[in-house]
Structures are given as C-alpha cells and as structure tokens.
A and B are shown apart, each in its own frame.
Chain A
Amino acid sequence: MKKGQKTMLGMTWMSYLGSAYGCLKQAGMWDGGIHELFGLTGMGFHFIMHESLCPSGPTVYNWLEEHFEMLDRIGVYTRQEFVFKASATNTFDLARESATGMIQQSIEAGKPVITWGPTHIAEFGIIYGFDSQDRVFFVEDCMPEEPDPLLYDNLGLSDVPIFYVQYLVDKTDFNYDDSVLNALKFGLNYWKSKVILSPKYTSGKMAYEAIINGLEKTDYDPFGLSYCVNVYSDMKTNMMKFFTQIAKKEKFSFLVPVLDQYQQVVDAFAQAVKWAPFKGPTGEYHYTDEAINGLIRSMKTAMESEEKFMQIVSQNIEQ
C-alpha cells in the first residue's frame, strides 16, 4: 500500500535548498519564503567553483557539518547518514538496508526525507512515500517530469554513489536575529575561505577568480559554466530579497547603503545568464568570443560589487 504525501522541491536551482524547503514545508517546520531559507540557513553564501568550472561546485562542501548547522539555524534538529561507496567500503549495503525502516518511519510521521541522487540526476532530492509491496520509495527530483520511484535495492546507488539521507527530527524556537548574524558570519567565512574540501575548489571571492581564470585560459567545462552561472544567479537573486528584508531591521540596517552593490551582483549574474544560457543536460554549449568577454566583464563587476558588500558586512559583524 502506498504511503506518504507527494512533496515537491522548492523552486530554486540549488537542489539541497529546494529539497529542504519542500520537506520542511510538508513537515510543518517552515512557513517562510524560499529566499528567507536561503539567507537564514546560510546556503545563499555557498558560492563554490571547481577550477575547471565543472558542474560539481554547488554540491561540493562538507554535507554532514553544514547541513546540520544550516537547519539548526532555523531551529530544526536533524539526523543524517552519509556513506560513500568506495571500493574498500564494506558497510555501504548495511547502511542502506538499515535506513529503509528509518525512512519509512519518518514518512509515516509526516516528515519526508532529504536525500542525494534519488534519480539518475546527481542532485539532492526528496523521498516522500513508499510502497512495501512494490519495494519502492516515491521520490522527487529537480526535473519537471514526475520521476519513476526508487527501488529499495537502489537506495544510495546513484551515478555518484553516496548514500545520504537527512531526517527532520524536531523543531524548537530560535532567535531570528541571532540566526541572521550567525548566517552572515558563516557567509563571511565562505567569502574569505581558501579551500573547500579540495584545493581545486574555491569559494567566495576566489570562486569569482576561478571563473575569470578559466574563461581567460579558455580552459573550462562549457556545460558546467552555464549550469553554475544559472545556479548562482538564482541564489544571489534570492539573497538580494533576503538582504532587502533584513535591512529593514535596525540591527541589520548597516546593509541599506550597500544594497545597491548587491543589486549590481544580481544584475551582473543576470547578464551572465544571457551569455551562458542553460540548454539542459543534453544541450550543446558553445561560447563566442563576445560571450566569453561578456562573461568575464560580468564576473569582474559582480566580484567588485560583492567585495564592497562583504566589506561592510565584515566591518559591522566583526566589531
């Protein structure tokens, strides 16, 4: 018998945030907008690039640590399981099998589960239902078509074989302003960080430099470039809404004079999206010299504007 309520991802290019939004809404743990979730969790500061500009950037960070902290900032306690299927890993199948019952329990309690790769797409998604007779989980990914369910036997066996689930356990009250402050500190750290998991990945200001270097050397993944530009354009648009919202509070009014700077970041990314439109995973990606030069100009503008914005954040929260 089929159990669980259909749960859609939130409308965003960042699949973890979209999945978290969908699950939290369904579980009654979040009633704000998606831009607010971007900001409060700190996910909206996740600007990470690989030196090849491949599409992995937006999902390469410490999932266990950061996903816990992100939802903790909105007062949601979560449990997670993470096992990478390396050739020397013995317990991968045990982890998957033991999780089946936990996922069912969470769904029966009205809490869908955030997971990695529930379909062949290497992105986060949602497990929202199950049918024990057919031995399948009902899932949702970031594509518009309704995906086929996930066989119990295939849990964790995506093309990037990481078994990852995050259960929403419970919710507590939290101090909104403290969480904003906490998220801004997290964002500032990301802006200045040098290495994210691997030396080939950079974040914040250095992520901009990675894009500019890749474009100048004409040595980059053309699909990844378009994908990342689109993901981050969406993210920064959401963050603009968030900053505009919190700047109305006296505690964060220091943002008011630099909102225009952040708007320039958003505008530069919107222009970059025009130079590097997304044509789907099977589309052809070619860039003219005009497009490459346009992208470099956009990224330089965005980097300078975000630098000014983050300087103000730094001056005000590190006092």
Chain B
Amino acid sequence: MGQLHRIKWFHERLLKQEYPNCKDISLTFEISSRQALRDVDYLRYSLDAPVEYNRSKGGYEYTDSFSLPLYFLRDDEKDRLEYLASQYALLPGKNSMELSNLFQKIAGEQRGRKEHFQINTSDFEEIITKAIAYSKKLIICYQKPSGLSEKRIIDPYRLFYRFNKSYLFAFCRERADFRVFLIDRIKDLEVSQQVYSFHEDFFENYQLIATSFTRQKKYTAQIFFSHKPDLYRFTEPQWDDSNHILTFSFVKSSNLFIKLINLDMDYPGFTFRVLSPQWLAEKLHNRLKTLSPHF
C-alpha cells in the first residue's frame, strides 16, 4: 500500500474521531512505527493538517476542520513546480510574481525550508532544474569550442531550448558576467551546497544574450565612486582602488540609473560621477535634473 492510501485511511479515522495512532497504522498496513510516524508528519507538516496527539485518548485528533487535497504531487512534480515558481519570480511584473506564488503554493513547500535535496538522477538537465529551484550554485566542467575543458562555478538561472539543443543561462563567477552554456558541452557537474543570491541584472542580460543569440555587445562604463560599491551588483567589474574608478558592463541605462540611485541610498554621503561614455553621463544628468524637484 502506498503512502497516499495510508494517509486517506488515517484521515478518515481522524474525521470519525477514532483517535488513531502510529501503532494502528503500523498494524493495519504492516509497516514499521517509524514509517507510520513519517506518514503522520507528512500529514501535519507537508499538508499543513491540524493534527495533534491527544494523550488522554492515546491517539491523534484534528484540532480544526481539515480536508485532504484533491491531488497529490510526486517529489519530481513538486520540483518542477518549484522551478516554475523560481523562474516566474525572476520575471518583471505583478502577474509574474502572482504566478510564482501560485506555483509555490501548489508545490507546497517553501524553498527556504529545504537546505539539502536529493539527487536521484544522472540527467544533467534534471539536476540543473533542481539546482535552479533551490538556488544552488553549480560547479561544472565545461568544454570550450577548442575542445579544452575548464572548471566554472556558476549560478544557474534558466534552461532553454534553441534549434533542438538545450542551453543553460547562468551567471559565471569566473567571468563575473552572464553566459550561455550548451548542455552537451557540460562534461561534469556538481551541485554546491552554497546558495546564490539573485543578480539584479538577470532579466536584461537574459533578453540581450539568450533571446537573440546574435552576440550583441554590452555598453562599458567608467564611474568614479567615493566609496567602493558592492562589485557583485555589477557585471565584469574592474575596480581601480587608487583612483576609485569602476569599469563595468551594462545593458540598459534606465536600470543602471536605478542601481546607482539605490547605491546612493545605501551609503550616506555616497557620490559618483560618470566618466564615460559621454552619452550616459548626459542621460543620467538629465534624469537627475527631472528628479531633483522631488528631493
């Protein structure tokens, strides 16, 4: 008998206020008491059932009304929903966030609760899907077009298909920038226990690099900062400590502007000055002029 069947049986007895216990489950289904306890835990923690042990009755009871969900998801199905939740969370807009919450709700468990996850497959795409859902870094051995392989530590963001091939869009720690990896060229893969934090430039880089495949170049800027900013917030950052100049790449000036304004808010007295390109300096200057009446 499967777990679903046992939980249904247990639930029916709880509704009838028969105060079933682990021993009853164990004897009825010929399973160990430990396994029966796991069934009760699943009902209580995974399905959020208000189940409590009543000492005076020697069994469990519902302390509030409860119905079993109409369907049960396998772990791999939950992983897929968690993956979708994580992907929609990356997209801009209220609708995307609502969908992310919906998928998370159906999946049941919150990603934050899970520190470790089981890998029961050697399929790289399956493993990457899980790593994305759980925001785990990956250590990959990646074969370059020349045939040589190199080790990379990456933050996996999104799997996608193009021309019948699977690709991974990820943030490469070595390059400090977003990259597209062909799955067929990943020769080895290891899931790190380190959790990565979401890079704020994800979406614009994904649009530029992964949706077109035309190898469009990014803008390069040089900015003087009075304090050293958090370099992880930029892509391809090169910090000149003696002159306090940061050289980095970016995709959209509007998003960079928001980032710079937010940096200013993080550090009281923080100043910056765009050294190049000229068009960016002018554009930001004009944006600031339109905002200045509000401050």
Contact = CB atoms under 8 A, between A and B. Distances in A.
A146 B284 CA distance: 12
Contacts of B254: 145
Interface string A101-128: 0000000000000000000100000000
B214 A85 contact: yes
A158 interface: yes
B292 interface: no
Contacts of B216: 151, 154, 157
Contacts of B277: 131, 133-134, 136
A2 B276 CA distance: 14
Interface centre among A85, A120, A133 (most CB of B within 10 A): A120
Contact of A282 (B93, B219, B276, B278): B93
B276 A134 contact: yes
B193 interface: no
A2 B278 contact: yes
B3 interface: no
Interface residues of A, number: 21
Given A157-B214, A161-B212, A120 B279 contact: no
A120 B207 contact: yes
A161 B211 CA distance: 12
Nearest to A153: B217
Given A134-B278, A284-B95, A158 B212 contact: yes
Contacts of A250: none
Nearest to B276: A134
Contacts of A161: 212, 214
Interface in B199-225: 207-208, 211-212, 214-217, 219
Interface residues on B, range: 20 to 34
A14 to B, nearest CB: 23
Interface string B77-94: 000000000000000110
B276 A157 contact: no
Nearest to A154: B216
B214 A136 contact: no
A281 to B, nearest CB: 11
A214 interface: no
Contacts of A138: 279
A148 B215 CA distance: 18
A153 B216 CA distance: 8
A159 to B, nearest CB: 4
Nearest to B204: A120
A149 interface: yes
Nearest to A120: B207
B162 to A, nearest CB: 13
A156 to B, nearest CB: 9
Interface in B247-295: 252-254, 276-279, 283
Nearest to A151: B217
Interface in B89-141: 92-93, 95
Contact of A159 (B214, B217, B253, B279): B214
Nearest to B252: A148
B291 to A, nearest CB: 15
Contacts of A282: 92-93
B279 A134 contact: yes
Interface in A50-107: 85
A161 B253 CA distance: 23
Interface string B141-180: 0000000000000000000000000000000000000000
Interface centre among B207, B214, B219 (most CB of A within 10 A): B214
Contact of B214 (A131, A148, A151, A158): A158
A146 B207 CA distance: 19
Nearest to B208: A120
A155 to B, nearest CB: 10
Nearest to A156: B214
Contacts of B217: 151, 153-154
B212 A149 contact: no
Nearest to B93: A282
Nearest to A159: B212
Contacts of B207: 120
Nearest to B250: A148
Contacts of B253: 148
A253 B8 CA distance: 81
Contacts of A151: 216-217, 219
A159 B215 CA distance: 10
B282 to A, nearest CB: 8
A146 B254 CA distance: 10
A148 B207 CA distance: 15
B252 to A, nearest CB: 6
Nearest to B92: A282
A2 B95 CA distance: 41
Interface in A1-18: 2
Nearest to A135: B277
Interface of B: 92-93, 95, 207-208, 211-212, 214-217, 219, 252-254, 276-279, 283
15 contacts: A120-B207, A120-B212, A131-B277, A133-B278, A134-B276, A145-B254, A148-B253, A148-B279, A154-B216, A157-B214, A157-B215, A157-B216, A158-B214, A159-B211, A161-B214
Interface of A: 2, 85, 120, 131, 133-134, 136, 138, 145-146, 148-149, 151, 153-154, 157-159, 161, 282, 284
